[in-house]
Structure 1
Amino acid sequence: MSFHQMIPKHNQSTISEFFLLGFQLQHRSKIIFFSTLLLVYIMTLTGNILIIILVSATQYLRSPMYFFLSQLSSCDIILSTSIIPNLLRITLKNGIPMSVSQCIAQFNFFSFSSATECLLLTMMSYDRYVAVCKPLHYVTIMNFQFCFSLVVFSWILGFLITLIFLILLSSLTFCNAKYIDHFFCDLVPLMQLSCSDTTVLQIVIYLLGVPETVIETVFIISTYVCIFCAIHRISSTTGRQKALSTCSSHLAVVCTYYGTVISIYIFPSRESSSGMNKIVSLIYTVVTPLLNPVIYSLRNQEIKTAIKKIIE
């Protein structure tokens, strides 16, 4: 139990703002970190916007895989924009105040984009499963109407999950302790700073958040087991390499994103320092949105060709 939770309720005073500490760097390190963050943010926006434009404007990129990829890019833009601009201010000033409403709003934009991204990655794994395991039926199964329904379902479900958290978080009151040793308003620090009973919120997390992540992870693993079995049955080396190349980009993104999310939220280590948690959080909030367009661009010949045509 934290110190502020042990304070008797009659001695508690409601606070209206938090103070985010960030990484608390020395001047030289601060400048390097700030410059790197700014460069990463510019590259993230440029890369993801470029993918959205390419998929929209290029005829041969209008396939289910690229349609899902453009939606993933939209999620990455929301995710990085909800975190990095504020992190730049925190880094420059060694911490900034944020009102309770601003903090909850930041968490909800982050939560919405993260939940939707997880769902989209799951849908993309099914797309890759159909492409490799049922290639003759791919066009029939993954028609535009079905793909559009999957995308709409992902955005709506992500919104509904976030809305539930928003309602529950907005009902909490926060007392006395106001410092958040993090670079954004994450769920766990907010719960720790609350002087309200968070039992209902914790139950909802385990009833909604954990099963959702576990189901998505199991589904993705199952599709890739089927994919690898199908690839193993392909007789030619060229055929195997071609089939594997269609999945490698998605698999790389899934491993990076889900690996960090699960390590933070599903199997958190009590011994982990706040510094280590911040570094791991930095990977999936800042690095992953940049990696997605980079991985898909470097590993995908069709996107490379589309980019060359624009440059030329």
Structure 2
Amino acid sequence: MDAEERIVAASKFLLQSPPGQINDVLNDVRNIISDDESLQTGVLPALIEYNVTQFITVDVPGHQHQTIVSEAARAPQEEGVEDDGDRFWDPRSRTSFRFDHLSLEASEPIPIDPDSDSEPFRAALENATLSYISAHFHSGVGAVFSIPGNASQFIVQIVANKYNPSNFWSGRWRSEYTINLEERKLEGRIHVNVHYYEQGNVQLSTTHNISLPLPPAISASSASASASKVLALIETEESKYQSSLNDAYQEMSEKTFKGLRRALPITRSKLDWDKVLGYKLGAELTANKSAFGAS
């Protein structure tokens, strides 16, 4: 395998990294590349893709909250500001920043003005989203974006991570919704990734699509009340999906996993695990007795 093929293989491994474990995967693939400079240059596109699609969170410079790095968060081009594709923005603080995809840190903050036409409804959606996250996610982060040049379209993003390496599991919840006031519809997608790796390697990766009409009462003219109604729709759909996942887990526990193993050993009787050592010792004594008798 030549150097280019190793880079391609390493990039694929990175894109499949479980939640919270990309640094572990990156350290492992260093053994494949054996050249840190080539590694950083070669896998940087994969790291960018991973960070953006996985809704990696980052501390906003100069503020006491986090925001989401995503395609929707790419900063609008500012006159006189160099843009190499690594600038993102946080509408909540009206700040754009440069994001380092290797260190996962933000720097070079610059104030940025939001779109005046869409900002009232966007801000109302943001407040409703933060209230929803506070009530339902232990460590969730949310961000709400308006679409440049379109005062009737908005994107709500939510991400929640839970890393528990001491118990060998990690998980990530991602959801994204597009609200279109003109077409009167809400469309979204929920992604759930969970990884269990105690004496094994089991991953859950599931996606759920949502498409709903917006009630007539939702409009930009009643921003606060309408935003609360939008988040109520999201809450209902996410709660239904969470319940369906719980039901699936219960069925797997009671049916699927039991079907993968014998109810009883081949002797058709349960094994007394407290006597296993005794069984082994007895077998050894019997073998020794036979040996002595043979001599």
TM-score range, shorter chain: under 0.3
Q: TM-score, normalised by structure 1?
A: 0.27
**Higher gyration radius (CA):** 2
More helix by share: 1
